[in-house]
Every structure is written in C-alpha cells, then in structure tokens.
Amino acid sequence: MRGKVQLIGAGCGRGLISVKALKALKKADVLVYDDLIDDKLLGEVRDDCKRIYVGKRFAKHSKTQPEINEILIEEANKGQLVARLKGGDSFVFGRGGEEYLALEGIDCELIPGISSCIAVPESLGIPVTHRGIAQSFTVITGHSASNKTESYEALAKLNGTLVFLMGINSIAEISENLMENHQIFLHP
C-alpha cells in the first residue's frame, strides 16, 4: 500500500497558514519539518504522529536534500500520509520543486503557503506594488546554493520593488551592489 505526501507551505509565521494546510497537519501520520516554521504548528499534529526534523540554516544542515527526498519516499512507501511542512511557500526558494520531482510516481498533493515576499511587507504596511510608484515586484534570493549571482546592473534599472529573501547574511553585499549600480544607471 502506497501512502501520500503533502508538500505544505507553512506561511511566514504570525498565524499566516492556510486553513487547508492546518487540516492536512491534523491528519498526518508523519510530519517532516524545517526550521523556518512557527513552532506552534508542531502542536497541530496528532500525538501519535511521527515527527522528523530536517531543518536547514545558513551553512548548517541536519539533512541533505537527497536525504530529505529519501525520507519522504520511504515514509510514503510504508503507506503513511506524510506532511512535508516548509516555511513560507514550498515553491519559492524552498526546494519544493526538487522534492516534487523526486516524488515521481508517489501520490503528492501541493498545498501552497502564504509567501513572506508579500505577507511580511503587507503586515508592516508596505505595499510591494503601488499605483504610480511600483507596477511590479521582483523576488530575489539573497542566498544562492550555487555560485550564480544576479545582475545588479539589471536589477537597479527595474522600476518596481525588489524583495530579497534569505539575505540577512549578505545584506551588506546586496546593498552595496544595488547602490553602486543605481549610481551608474543615474549617472552613466
């Protein structure tokens, strides 16, 4: 008997999780969860739910991505209903796409999360778009797993809002590059 995996976005804390996600947590046999979730969500699963921590922080991973994928596959193959709980939205810099592809052939349900790229600014009264000021917004990772870097020259030319996620450890570099390229754009 094969089980099922639900890739669940936990939202960005402050109670910003969908009703559908909460219902899924309450039914789970196995919870595979990250660091970047509201700890109160751990209390939403049944007492008999198996909990597996697979958190990752900057330069500190409890499990590799292939190990996480294998855990999901193994638990589903035991016939379990597996809730894979990830902070924010699984498909916005959350490796949810990689996990979804790894689960090929296994019943998988996607439950989107409320992404911090719009929820956090809004909770602080900051619109990411505003008529006459910003007609678009761009979401950029502030922490890349590869050596690829964004074109700060291109980003500085955009007329919309720039939202950097996971950039706390590179905030100085991001700020310096944007200011430097903004000056070049204004004064070629």
Task: Give the active site residues.
Answer: 34, 56, 166
> Residue-wise over 88-119: b if at least 16 C-beta within 10 A, else e?
bbbbbbbbbeebbebbeebebeebbbbbbbbb
* 3-class DSSP assignment, residue 76: helix
Please, which residues have CB within 8 angstroms of residue 27's CB and are 6 or more apart in sequence? 81, 83
- In 3D space, the residue among 128, 124, 130 whose CA is nearest the CA of residue 138 turns out to be 128
State the Cα–Cα distance between residues 101 and 115, nearest whole angstrom.
21
